[in-house]
Amino acid sequence: MVEKAVAFATKSHEGTFRKGTKIPYIVHPLETAVIVALMVTDEELICAALLHDVVEDTGVTEEELKEKFGLRVAELVMEETEDKTKCWKERKCATLDHLEQASRESKILVLADKLSNLRSTARDYFLVGDDLWQRFNEKNKSEHAWYYKGVAKRLTGLEEFPAYQEYIKLCERVFE
C-alpha cells in the first residue's frame, strides 16, 4: 500500500515545486512520510502522510482516496486538509482548533507535516533571512511564529519523539 501511495502522490504532485524553490513538491510528502515512519509502523498513517496534500493542492477528491486507499487513510488526509477558500489566519485557526481534540494519529501526521515545513523554512531562512517571508501568502514572520508555536503547544503526548524535540528546537531557532 505504501508503494501505491508513493506512486499516486508523485503523479498527483507532478510538475509542482516548493514555494520559492526548484525543489519538486513530492519531496515534502516523502519527507513527511519518513518522519511518520520513524515514529510508528502504521502503514495507513504512513500512506496518509504521503497523501496529506493531494486533496488540498491537486484535483484529487476525498472519494478517490477512499476508493484507492480506504476510509481510514481518506479520513486522516481530510483531517489534515485545509479549506483553501478561507484566508490564511482562518485556516491556521481551524488547524489549531482541530489539534485541541485530535487523535494521537492525527497529531503525529500534523507533527510530521509541520516539521517538514519548518525544516524547509529554517534552511531557507538561514540562507535568505527575512526576505523568506515574502514567498508565503502570510508575509508577517510573527504570524508564522504564532502558528508554529501554537501547533507545538497542542502536540501533547508526542514529547517522547525526537521529531517533537527537533520541532521545538527549530521553532526556537527560526522564531526567537
Q: Known catalytic residues?
A: 56-57
Distance of alpha carbon 73 from alpha carbon 94, whole angstroms? 20
Cβ-based burial of 129 (10 A; exposed 0-12, middle 13-18, buried ≥19): exposed
Distance CA 156, CA 99 (A): 9
Q: Which helix (H) or strand (E) covers residue 102, if one does?
A: none
CB 82 within 8 A of CB 91: yes
Q: What are 109's three cell numbers? A: 501526521
